[in-house]
Structure 1
Amino acid sequence: MCCIMPMYGNYSNTLYLYVLHNASPITVFIIVVLYSRFHFESYQQLQAMRFAVDAINRNPDILPNVTLGFQAYDSCDFLQYDLKGALQVLTGYDGVIPNYRCTPDVPLSSIIGPAISTHSILIAHILGLYGYPQISHYSTSSFLSDRRTFPSFFRTVPSDIFQSKGLAHLVLHFGWTWVGLLAADNDYGQQGIQLVQQEIVNGGACVAFTENILMSQPNRNAPHIVNVMKASTAVAVVVYSTDVDVIPILEEMLLQNVTGKIFIASEAWSTTTVATIDRYNTLLSGTLGLALHSGTILGLIEYLNKIDPSMELGRDWIKIFWELAFNCNFISDKNETGSLDTNVNKCTGTEDLESIQNIYNDVSSLRTAFSVYTAVHVVVNALEAMNNCKKGEESYSCPDIYNFMPWQLLHYMKKVRFTQNSGREVFFDKNGDPPATYDIVNWQLSPSSAMKYVKVGSYDTADPHGNVFTINISAITWTSGNQKVPVSVCSQSCPPGFWKATKKGEPVCCFQCVPCPQGEISNHTDSYNCLKCPWNLWPNPDKSRCLPKLIEYLSYEDSLGKTMASTSTVSSLVPIAILKIFIQFKATPIVKANNYSLSCLLLVSLSFCFLCSLAFIGYPQLEKCLIRQVAFGMVFALCISCILAKTMMVIFAFMVTKPGSNLKKWTNPWVSYMIVFISSLIQFLLCLTWLSLSPPFPEENMETQPTIIILHCNEGSRTAFWCMLGYLGLLATVSFIFAFLARRLPDSFNEAKFITFSMLAFLSVWVSYIPASLSAQGKYTVAMEIFAILTSTWALVICMFVPKCFIILFSLPNQNFTAEPRGTHWETLCCSTM
């Protein structure tokens, strides 16, 4: 079988494969086209192909009785040379005779190459007509994945579709949302950069600029491109081109002193071997790129170092390589490299290749050479599968390995599947593409200022563990040795607590950060909207997370609740103490004149007035909500009713003393009890109606203060509440009016004055409570009502009983209380009748 390996001029290389059977020494037809530059890397690829062919021919277990042979053509990066070479192989002679195969005894198995996608597309159109398998080791254009157009095309490198996804994934991985794009204006660059742009935009990033590297211009449009790069704030720049086309851009960047850019390189230049690239080390340090997956070929280094100028096979190429590798000239009428320098050494042909180190014998990271090596093994595996065909296994008869048609081998090429020494499996999908595997490389300067390509990750769509994209960020060195990941954004990221608001007329990546509205949060950077916190949660001050709302109610644990509770408890003992004094001194005229029974009932109700405020403190349970306002209304109604009864009895007692008065029956004690009973009954009926129709209930108030859940008792019907409170006001007002009218009645013990002051204080407190309660919030509303209860109760205690207690305890300590009481006749009557 024959292989042909390429390109010693520029980039393109082509391998054409034949099968030789019953053949003596392999005859090789080689077209040598001298070019201005001899590529050591391409020559290494040729030797890798030769090494694979020789190893297979020496292995008796692979294709026994079949010898592999090859022909190699150098296209010098010219499309016409690639086309000419392909047609010559198909014809079998130097002259091109379309549709004729002039060497039927040596079947052509396949063609390996070319390396340039545009060239492969043209040749694939021709080979597809005849069904000849074509395997490219470097053509990556996604156009070639069209199986209907290119039915016989295969390749051992991934399609640009995968590369574009990998480059976009690399950009998005570092959070670069503002990216520049540069691409060569050919099939490779244009289609590739369009796919990159599509993936970047789908990933949520934006393109700052897109510029074409114009192949038709000597300077590649570099001045304009660099001006655009200089004016843009984008730091990351994806370059989809070859190394030769990138150099004018780098040169212009040096002229304009443009630095600080991070290049993302496509595989065509991510591991470039162009010698002049070292001139731009300061610009390229930190570059990231996708490179073809590297592999190892055992024994290749020894094979590479074994060649010498005495070999017949490819002697002209060897001499060119030898003169360039050792900087010498062979003694002949014409040296192969055309050098006119007479000071260079003479080549002896015995120089030792092991003594030098260059791209040719550097096997530390084989990429394209490994791809060529793999292509040879693909063809061999297909031939072996065809040779091992057993009748009955196929829908047609098994082809003869010595005389087969190209479409018959194509059938087996589609089914190729084998595992390399590294454990990586080689196969083709329905489009003729292998699994996409790339190395992520980082350009780093060595201590000697030489550029090296360090593998920092991989992009492998066939990874058995599903880890398609892996990268070691700590192994990356950025521009000027910086270890911190550069930032390439149009607008700085919005921290948690803000959301991104797009600026009008600008890309979505150019935005302004707007704080989240009240009650909403954003818990990650660059949020597009804010989320509303659940009802029982509230944002923290940074609006980055929801925290449980504070629950507020007047409890016994806080200082305000403790103060109110202790005050209520202590205050309730004061009426009890006064009651004890009244019981002890009940025989005194002052106690008798103040209606002993009503005074005792009033003191008991005042004690309960103090204690009812305790129902307003603590967790607002349903039972507490139902009883607290009712208890307050009832005890105060009882209290004011007693005062009203006392007032009415004072008036009746005075009026009885007038001549001809028939009101003596109204001075009966049962009248005062009836006043108390009826007045309290009305309040009881109001409260009963309230509890029946719209009773109070516990409620969680989240509207008054959004950050706090206020637990309180909803009064159910505010109308009922104010009716209850208004009724107390009515009783107090009536008592105040009657007491005010009776304030000038003659008597040193006239109680009307004290009732007037007590009712005035009572009404003042509760009239002041109305606006105060409406302005208070949360637990302070409850505290305000408790304060009103305590204040109004103290007003009654002080105004009604403190003067009497003072007189009892300090003014009459030694009097004989069995004597006739002092005072006017109506006082004596009052005492006897009350």
Structure 2
Amino acid sequence: MLNIPEDLPSRRQRVYYCLSILLYSEVGFGAFKEVPWFHFEFYQQFQALRYAVEEINRSSELLPNHTLGFYAYDGCCVLRSELWGTLWMLTGLSQAIPNYCCQEIPPLVAIIGHSLSSHSILLAHILGLYKFPQISYYSTSSLLNDRIQFPSFFRTVPSDVFQSRGLAQLVVYFNWTWVGLLAVNDEYGNEATELIKQEIIKEGACIAYTIHISSNLVYKNLPSTVKIIKESSANVIIVFSVDTYLIPLLEEMLKQNITGKTLVASEAWSISTDLSVGKYSSILSGSIGFAFHSSEIQGFKDYLNSINLMTTPGIPWLQRLWEEIFGCRLSSMTNLTVKISNVDQPCTRDENLELVQNSYNDVSSLRSSYNIYTAVYVIAKALDDFSHCQPLDGPLTGGKCSDLRNIKPWQLLKYFYKVKVKMDNKRMVYFDKNGNPPAVYDIVNWQPRADGTMKQVKVGSYDVQYESGEIFSINTSLIWWATVNQKTPLSVCSESCPVGFKKVIKRGEPLCCFQCIPCAQGEISNQTDSFECWSCPWDTWPNNKRDRCFPKPTEFLSYNDPLGITMAATSSFSSVVPVFIFQLFIQYKSTPIVRANNFHVSCILLVSLSLCFLCALAFIGYPQPEKCLLRQAAFGLVFALCVSCILAKTIIVVFAFKATKPGSNLKKWTTPYVPYMIIVICTLIQFILCIFWLSVSPPFPQYNIEAKPGIIVVECNENSPFAFWCMLGYLGFLASVSFTVAFLARRLPDNFNEAKLITFSTLAFLSVWVYFIPASLSAQGTYTVSMEVFAILISSWALVACMFFPKCFIILFKPNMNSKENLMGKNINRKIMVKKDLSNVQSVLTFQYILLRFHDVEKELESR
């Protein structure tokens, strides 16, 4: 116990107020495996308390005319001792008696401590009954947020809720989606485990395993625990524990030679000096974690180095510090402390602390000491606010104020909730409704030193008060990783899915264990680890990686394509052939072979054939609305005209032969007007059908995105497939009738009828279009148009070749056969010799005469 120093500066109307601090082995001795040691950094925390009290007592702005004092108690991390010490300070007696206090002056107004959450929870239950303000500088358990159970508990460190949220963001920041969780089996570890699980799952990561290590240093299950860590595919382990409980685990990890694991540290061990030794560098190098925010205390280093063995409170602790630092023995310490092994050299008491550097006077990163320093200022500011109480705003009934001389601890609670202290580092300290300060953490990275030990380097921060709004920030260039080429460690259950793929969760596995499946045709994913693929707009198509949509290329039977050029050239050339034959027929118009084959109908047929070739051009080129509207109708009309001419020629041949028989009624149909009537009627039917089609359901251009993946086929939609097939079926009907009639008349005299030629031509015509039907139904895109153009050209060539090439051959190369005598005599004699039938001879002569008369009558009509 430390009494209030008697030499504190006197002030007018001075009143002493007492602060109590509970330190878990912070000041005195601790033991592990019966080896005593003294914590330099914990003694520094005690000096931070002294320094803050003395600063406030010297201040003229904070608590003027009042002096602060303190008690300090070392509980040695023993819960029973902590409880006894708390009751001792509450009662003021060496024998702790609950609900009794004989201490009158100075009044005890607040308690600072404990550091362990489990101990703070027990003390908070007791202090809450008395409404004693309690401020912890290291307890982070979220259980202490419960204001019903702990109405008087406050702390100058953030709750584990903030740490868990920040660590989860840290894990996700480095793309660690598969992590292990290791925690000490106490209130701190259990509560932190639940919080971090919730936050990690919320951030989209998964927990590979959860292991609770015993707070009992003799832990028999360590080998099996470490084996789980070794065999797991999780290369990152989040550890919630104090450094003391980690030592046995690290020893076992060294035995099993575990490497390649990266530890994420909670604030309880992230800056531990006991673990920073070179022995554990193979395991802990590259570790990263959260530490309480560090700050500077002006003049604190000089204050630490200026302590005096005779006048500094807590002389036994200071003497122990002195022996540890300088490796000597104070004669007065013989019965007070454990004798340092192999040290017999006496201390001169003139040793200078400025000449040594250790964790006691290292103020480069004050964390716990600064939290204690802040706690003292918070209490002082609450007392100062209490001293400036205004009527109707006081803590007593009716808003009355109280005097500091008669202050009761419960009267301060109201001012703790309202307190705001601006520290030297420009940060504002206050408490929220749960007694928590604004959360701020330093992100530290364990990096090796040249001597093999490790240092903790600040690489980022987690600050809810950050002005720019970036609560989480980290400088990756400062991080040292214990991996090849200093690359960020990888800790995933399944490799990340690249763009163009989507994740499919494996059945019975966590969300982080998945397989990557390529996006379907027409879909993309432009994010890694995407759960869904998105369809591209109708006019776009994915690239090869399926991560972006590009405009689809358009396709149609173009004049620039080789196929389009070939068909256009063929169509143009082919259209000239009927014109050439037409000129040849005009030139040899008076010859028997031209006259005997119905010259005018042949001319109409040749013109229609030329138009048939040319109508193929309407199917080549960009499908414009006008072209789509007329091309099928034009095709249907010119082919109807062409087939009608063939049908007329066929029927006239049959009529002429049948009319020669005695008593035939077909003589009246052997006039020159009959073929024209047949042509007009047959063509008119097709014309009416096309007009009805274009009026009711006209064709139109469309963009077909289903014909070919990734290509927009610009084509003409016939709009009414029924009308199209009716038009085509009508042509087939005309051709079928022509073929049937010509086939029946194929045995008529060879030289004077075209029955055989018509039979072959219509057979070829029908064959082409019968083949076109299944081919067009199976083809897609431009191939459908190409098939129709091909059918048009081939069927037209079939008619030209079969109908006119034999006659042109006779006209050009066999002129001796193009005579009336040859046509009439030679074949007549042959027929007579074969058939021996005079009546047939007469019929043949009459038939020949009728055919020739057709042309004579036509000639007379033209001359008129």
**Same structural fold, with TM-score higher than 0.5 when normalized by the shorter chain:** yes
Q: CA deviation at 1:211?
A: 1.2
Contact 2:265 2:288 in 1 (8 A): yes
Contact 2:235 2:260 in 1 (8 A): yes
Contact 1:443 1:453 in 2 (8 A): yes
Q: CA deviation at 1:704?
A: 4.1
1:833 and 2:836 are equivalent in the alignment: no
TM-score, structure 1 normalization: 0.92
Separation in structure 1 between the aligned mates of residue 57 and residue 722 of structure 2, nearest angstrom:
107
Write out per-residue CA displacement over residues 77-108 of structure 1, whole angstroms, 9 at most, x where no aligned residue.
11222222222222234333433333323222
Separation in structure 1 between the aligned mates of residue 186 and residue 19 of structure 2, nearest angstrom:
34
1:601 and 2:604 are equivalent in the alignment: yes
What is residue 365 of structure 1 aligned with on the other side?
365
What is residue 620 of structure 2 aligned with on the other side?
617
Q: CA deviation at 1:693?
A: 4.5
> Which of 758, 762, 768 is the equivalent residue of 1:759?
762
What is residue 732 of structure 2 aligned with on the other side?
729
> Which of 772, 787, 802 is the equivalent residue of 1:769?
772
What is residue 353 of structure 1 aligned with on the other side?
353
What is residue 47 of structure 1 aligned with on the other side?
47
Q: 1:129 to 1:802 in 2, by over 3 A?
A: same
1:575 and 2:578 are equivalent in the alignment: yes
Q: 1:131 to 1:747 in 2, by over 3 A?
A: closer
Q: 1:704 to 1:159 in 2, by over 3 A?
A: same
What is residue 126 of structure 1 aligned with on the other side?
126
What is residue 423 of structure 1 aligned with on the other side?
426
Q: 1:668 to 1:698 in 2, by over 3 A?
A: same
> Which of 394, 397, 401 is the equivalent residue of 1:398?
401
> Which of 801, 804, 813 is the equivalent residue of 1:801?
804
- Given residue 51 of structure 1, which amino acid in structure 2 is its aligned partner? Y
What is residue 439 of structure 2 aligned with on the other side?
436
> Which of 519, 522, 525 is the equivalent residue of 2:525?
522
> Which of 565, 576, 584 is the equivalent residue of 2:587?
584
Separation in structure 2 between the aligned mates of residue 625 and residue 571 of structure 1, nearest angstrom:
23
What is residue 148 of structure 1 aligned with on the other side?
148
SS of alignment partner, residue 135 of structure 1: strand
> Which of 632, 635, 648 is the equivalent residue of 1:629?
632
Contact 1:319 1:336 in 2 (8 A): no
- Given residue 347 of structure 1, which amino acid in structure 2 is its aligned partner? C
> Which runs of structure 2 are paired with 1:661-680 in the superposition (5 Å)?
663-680=666-683
What is residue 305 of structure 1 aligned with on the other side?
305
Q: CA RMSD in A?
A: 3.0
1:409 and 2:433 are equivalent in the alignment: no
SS of alignment partner, residue 95 of structure 1: coil
What is residue 836 of structure 2 aligned with on the other side?
none
Q: 1:333 to 1:508 in 2, by over 3 A?
A: closer
Q: 1:605 to 1:658 in 2, by over 3 A?
A: same
Write out per-residue CA displacement over residues 674-713 of structure 1, whole angstroms, 9 at most, x where no aligned residue.
1111111222233334334444344444444444443333
Contact 2:28 2:317 in 1 (8 A): no
Q: CA deviation at 1:153?
A: 1.1
Q: 1:133 to 1:27 in 2, by over 3 A?
A: closer
Contact 2:16 2:67 in 1 (8 A): no
Contact 1:556 1:565 in 2 (8 A): yes
What is residue 113 of structure 1 aligned with on the other side?
113
Separation in structure 2 between the aligned mates of residue 802 and residue 28 of structure 1, nearest angstrom:
125
Separation in structure 2 between the aligned mates of residue 741 and residue 69 of structure 1, nearest angstrom:
134
Q: CA deviation at 1:118?
A: 1.8
Q: CA deviation at 1:563?
A: 1.9
Separation in structure 1 between the aligned mates of residue 509 and residue 4 of structure 2, nearest angstrom:
54
Contact 2:236 2:262 in 1 (8 A): yes
What is residue 375 of structure 2 aligned with on the other side?
375
Contact 2:116 2:139 in 1 (8 A): yes
Separation in structure 2 between the aligned mates of residue 822 and residue 232 of structure 1, nearest angstrom:
104
- Given residue 447 of structure 1, which amino acid in structure 2 is its aligned partner? A
Which region of structure 1 is more displaced relative to structure 2, 55-64 or 617-626? 617-626
SS of alignment partner, residue 491 of structure 2: coil
Contact 1:247 1:277 in 2 (8 A): no
Separation in structure 2 between the aligned mates of residue 529 and residue 27 of structure 1, nearest angstrom:
64
Write out per-residue CA displacement over residues 175-213 of structure 1, whole angstroms, 9 at most, x where no aligned residue.
222211111111111111111112112222222111111
SS of alignment partner, residue 391 of structure 1: coil
Which region of structure 1 is more displaced relative to structure 2, 29-38 or 763-772? 29-38
- Given residue 79 of structure 2, which amino acid in structure 1 is its aligned partner? L
- Given residue 624 of structure 1, which amino acid in structure 2 is its aligned partner? K
> Which residues of structure 1 form unaligned runs of 5+?
6-16
Write out per-residue CA displacement over residues 755-798 of structure 1, whole angstroms, 9 at most, x where no aligned residue.
23222221222222222222222211111111111111112222
What is residue 316 of structure 1 aligned with on the other side?
316
1:449 and 2:452 are equivalent in the alignment: yes
What is residue 845 of structure 2 aligned with on the other side?
none
Contact 1:20 1:106 in 2 (8 A): no
What is residue 170 of structure 1 aligned with on the other side?
170
Write out per-residue CA displacement over residues 734-762 of structure 1, whole angstroms, 9 at most, x where no aligned residue.
22233334444336454333323222221
Q: 1:220 to 1:268 in 2, by over 3 A?
A: farther
1:237 and 2:241 are equivalent in the alignment: no
What is residue 11 of structure 1 aligned with on the other side?
none
Separation in structure 1 between the aligned mates of residue 221 and residue 366 of structure 2, nearest angstrom:
33
What is residue 566 of structure 1 aligned with on the other side?
569
Contact 2:329 2:345 in 1 (8 A): yes
Identity within the alignment, %: 57
Contact 1:747 1:823 in 2 (8 A): no
Contact 1:653 1:829 in 2 (8 A): no
What is residue 740 of structure 1 aligned with on the other side?
743
Q: CA deviation at 1:218?
A: 1.0
What is residue 650 of structure 2 aligned with on the other side?
647
Q: 1:649 to 1:407 in 2, by over 3 A?
A: same
Write out per-residue CA displacement over residues 570-619 of structure 1, whole angstroms, 9 at most, x where no aligned residue.
22222223223333333333332232221221121111111111222233
What is residue 208 of structure 1 aligned with on the other side?
208
> Which residues of structure 2 form unaligned runs of 5+?
31-35, 826-847, 859-864
Which region of structure 1 is more displaced relative to structure 2, 551-560 or 290-299? 551-560
Which region of structure 1 is more displaced relative to structure 2, 456-465 or 612-621? 612-621
